[in-house]
Amino acid sequence: MMPPDLFVLFVIGPVVTAALLAAFHKWDTFQRGVSLAVSLGLWGLSVVGLLSLLQEGQQGMVVLRMGNWAAPYGIILVADVLSMTMVVLTMTIAVAVVAFSLRTVEQAHQEHFYYPLFFILIMGVNGAFLTGDLFNLFVFFEILLIASFALLALGSQPGQLRETVKYVVINLIASTFFLISLSVLYRTMGTLNMADLAHKIQTTSGELDSTLTILSLVFLFVFGTKAAIFPLYFWLPGPYFQPSAGLSAFFGGILTKVGVYAIFRTFTLIFRHNPALTHELLLILAALTMLLGVFGALSQMDMKRILSYHIISQIGYLMLGIGLLTPQALAGTLFYMVPYVLAKSALFLIAGVVQAATGSTHLKAVGGLQSHSIPLSALFLLAALSLAGIPPLAGFFSKFIVLQAGMEIGRYGYVGIGLLGGLLTLASMLKIWNGVFWGEETGDRRPVSLWPLFPGIILLVFFIVGIGLFPGILYSVAQTAAAQVADPRVYIAAVLGMQD
Amino acid sequence: MEFVIISVIGVLFGCGTYLILQRHLLQVVVGLSLYSHAANLALLVSGGLKRGNPPLLTTDAPYVDPLPQALILTAIVISFGMTAFATVLAFRVRQVYGSDAVDELAGGEE
């Protein structure tokens, strides 16, 4: 059993590391060594933390009260199985991205605080997963945003600057709406603590329901902008296309999932008073997001752009699970999230390797890479087929569980759209395969050794294959998390109950 | 009094929206900062505008809710940082492109 106080390290650790790295930003080896050591350390710690929660089954939840002020007055961090799974996932991607960055980040970028900014980003993401308070969710969102703004703009290439401007303006507008809806929520309910909100909404007799429904839709707009759901996804493909491959992998893998997590948390814990409206809306948006994302992907001719549009499509599947709101579907959402984030980050890193090997990721400019590097082609194929849902890889079980949950409650239309989306995903993955790896050799071959770039990708693909071979382990984790989330009383009791 | 503040919030939002829809980045940045002022005022109103005693446990008269002020303080710091970043970004765009009109930011596609 891990001591509860150690859970604060997932927030404090990265920011202390960032300060340390910023102070010694000229020391090359120090930067890389400390970054790798800290991300590995936090990864190990997060796995231990998740295991210690799982030992207690459905009661496995750690509540940290800052300054020992009792909730709902003080600031709290809540680590339940859902949050900790997300933290483990974040740290896994972080390890892979740091391992990739060691070889790919330019000296100038590194001296301009690449690693410190990356750790501040990790702090914001972990904090957003662990906080038990809507206002602190806002604060952690802003922390991860400012770090991501700076990382996107690093280097100041013309295309980068343009996409950063779009990203900044969209996100700042969404943040303003977040603040406004927080103030209206505070005025209505008198609290911003998530457990307290859920408790008060459950115990009101329903006279506030119409206000709460409107508020929940404003929150959906805010989180939907960050998560890139239909019709708010228009900003996404540009910024995720521009930065270096390591950053694309982290942004594409984790950043939009913070928005999805926020929707997951608020629409299972707080806004459950009117599922006939809010969760039906989630389902409709999910279906449109799935389809339009994958149509966008099919129409693109660049590997990184295809992958960027895929992020949108996959977010649709996650929203589908949240909208169905049965324990089975919620477990399916979490089970979907893990292999998909691993595969997505791996694919972006592979795009980075393709860029390093040939100088381009455009399908017309590159071809026949499979004879140049067989390991790279194999890694791509494993990750891409998992994303498309081909058995026995992990992605197959993800889609299976979500769609099975849809069948169980008779939502055949959405299941059909999900299957169609999967088929089109396969088509667009084959488009990359045919364009970049198969066929005649075209394009440059730069004389660089590709092996040093592989460790991070191999790590991610190892987990994808592992989950595919032993899906039962992740499924039991997802079921525990879903059992906690499906019954908010456990969460409320853990946060508000034991005020000793 | 609340009505006055709420009207001010509305006006700030209107002006902010107008500025965000302009061509030049500096106007967009000013629009964003007007947005954040409006949001801060909304937080202030959320606790209720009333006179009262300081929020101490020893006083028993009606006291003022301290939480919105703490929230505003946090929000001001954050929006200050964001506005500073956006200003520098606009300046850098002006340096790189020679213009800060958003429809002239081309290049870097492939």
Number of structural domains in chain B: 1
Q: B63 forms bridges with which residues in the sheet?
A: B53
Interface membership of A165 toward B (CB under 8 Å):
yes
Interface membership of A139 toward B (CB under 8 Å):
yes
Query: What residues in B contact A137, CB-CB < 8 Å?
Result: none
Nearest CA in chain B to A189: B46
Does the structure show a pLDDT above 70 at B44?
yes
Does the structure show a pLDDT above 80 at B56?
no
Contact A217, A207 (CB under 8 A): no
CA dihedral for A429, A430, A432, A433, sign (positive or negative): positive
> Taking CB atoms and an 8 Å limit, are B110 and A302 in contact across chains?
yes
Interface membership of B14 toward A (CB under 8 Å):
no
Residue B109: the pLDDT is 58
Nearest CA in chain A to B109: A159
**Which residues of chain A fall short of a pLDDT of 50?**
499-500
Residue A315: the pLDDT is 93
Nearest CA in chain B to A304: B110
Answer yes or no: is B57 within a domain: no
Answer yes or no: is B31 within a domain: yes
Residue written as token pair 């209206």? A184
Nearest CA in chain A to B73: A139
Contact B25, A161 (CB under 8 A): no
> Taking CB atoms and an 8 Å limit, are B108 and A158 in contact across chains?
yes
Query: What residues in B contact A139, CB-CB < 8 Å?
Result: 74, 78
Instruction: List Cβ neighbours of A308 (8 Å cut-off, separation of 6 or more).
Output: A236, A237, A240, A241, A252
How far apart, in whole angstroms, are the C-alpha atoms of residue A77 and residue B41?
28
> Taking CB atoms and an 8 Å limit, are A158 and B110 in contact across chains?
no
Query: What residues in B contact A162, CB-CB < 8 Å?
Result: 93, 105-108
Residue B35: the pLDDT is 96
Answer yes or no: is B109 within a domain: no
Q: How many interchain CB pairs under 8 A, A with B?
A: 101
Q: Worst-scoring range by mean pLDDT, A143-147, A407-411, B36-40, B47-51?
A: B47-51
Mutate to test the interface with A, among B72, B78, B88, B91 (most CBs of A within 10 A): B78
Task: State the DSSP code for A70.
Answer: P
Nearest CA in chain B to A73: B67
Interface membership of B92 toward A (CB under 8 Å):
yes
Angle between helix A327-358 and helix A454-469 axes, rounded to 10 deg? 150
Nearest CA in chain A to B108: A159
Interface membership of B108 toward A (CB under 8 Å):
yes
Answer yes or no: is B26 within a domain: yes
Question: Could you report the predicted ipTM of this complex, rounded to two decimals?
Answer: 0.93
The tokens of A106 are what? Answer: 């330019």
Instruction: List Cβ neighbours of A386 (8 Å cut-off, separation of 6 or more).
Output: A339, A343, A393, A394, A395, A396, A464, A468
| Gyration radius from chain A CA atoms | 22
Task: State the DSSP code for A41.
Answer: H
Does the structure show a pLDDT above 70 at B26?
yes
Residue written as token pair 């900790």? A84
Answer yes or no: is B56 within a domain: no
- Shortest CA gap A160–chain B (Å): 7
Mutate to test the interface with A, among B20, B46, B92 (most CBs of A within 10 A): B46
Query: What residues in B contact A362, CB-CB < 8 Å?
Result: 110
Query: What residues in B contact A131, CB-CB < 8 Å?
Result: none
Interface membership of B40 toward A (CB under 8 Å):
yes
Answer yes or no: is B107 within a domain: no
Residue range(s) defining the domain that contains residue B89? 2-49+64-99
Interface membership of A196 toward B (CB under 8 Å):
no
The tokens of A319 are what? Answer: 């929203």
CATH of the domain at B70: 1.10.287.3510
Answer yes or no: is B89 within a domain: yes
| Gyration radius from chain B CA atoms | 19
Q: CA of A224: how far to CAs of A29, A145, A228, A236, B13, in Å?
A: 40, 15, 6, 12, 21
Answer yes or no: is B58 within a domain: no
A79 φ/ψ angles, rounded to the nearest 5 degrees: -110, 100
| Helix (DSSP H) and strand (DSSP E) numbers for chain B | 3, 0
Chain B segment 48-77 residues within 8 A of A by beta carbon are 48, 67-68, 71, 74-75
How far apart, in whole angstroms, are the C-alpha atoms of residue A321 and residue A414?
11
Cα B97 to chain centroid distance, Å, stands at 27
Residue A205: the pLDDT is 72
Residue A487: the pLDDT is 87
> Taking CB atoms and an 8 Å limit, are A159 and B71 in contact across chains?
no
- Shortest CA gap A302–chain B (Å): 9
